[in-house]
């Protein structure tokens, strides 16, 4: 896989993680408000930490993807 493909893949992973973060945040809100799975108890602190981890990993994947894309463009320009 060339560097452009790897950069696009990292950007796609970043988008998926960002989507997952907000999807689970909505699910957490529904569970907490009692409109979804009534009587379901869970450790909300662990879920919130996981959501923060999704956000951090999303930013890291985006930065790595952009760096790969920039390096690919520089190498293509030097050829």
What pLDDT, in 10s, does the model give residues 7-56? 999 999 999 999 988 888 777 777 766 665 555 555 666 677 777 888 89
Q: Please list, in sequence order, all residues whose beta carbon lies within 8 angstroms of the beta carbon of residue 43, skipping any fewer than 6 positions away.
A: none
Q: Among 3, 19, 9, which Cα is nearest to 68's?
A: 3
- Model pTM above 0.85: no
**pLDDT for residue 16:** 94
**pLDDT for residue 22:** 84
Q: Are 28 and 48 in contact (CB under 8 A)?
A: yes
More confident site: 22 or 62: 62
Q: DSSP letters of 3-63?
A: HHHHHHHHHHHHHHHHHHHHHHHHHHHHHHHTSSSTT----HHHHHHHHHHHHHHHHHHHH
């Amino acid at each position: 896989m060339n560097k452009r493909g790897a950069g696009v893949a990292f950007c796609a992973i970043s988008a998926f993680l960002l989507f997952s973060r907000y999807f689970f945040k909505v699910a957490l809100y529904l569970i907490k408000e009692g409109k979804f799975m009534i009587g379901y108890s869970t450790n909300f602190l662990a879920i919130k930490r996981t959501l923060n981890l999704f956000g951090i990993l999303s930013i890291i994947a985006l930065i790595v993807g952009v760096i790969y894309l920039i390096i690919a463009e520089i190498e293509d320009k030097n050829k």
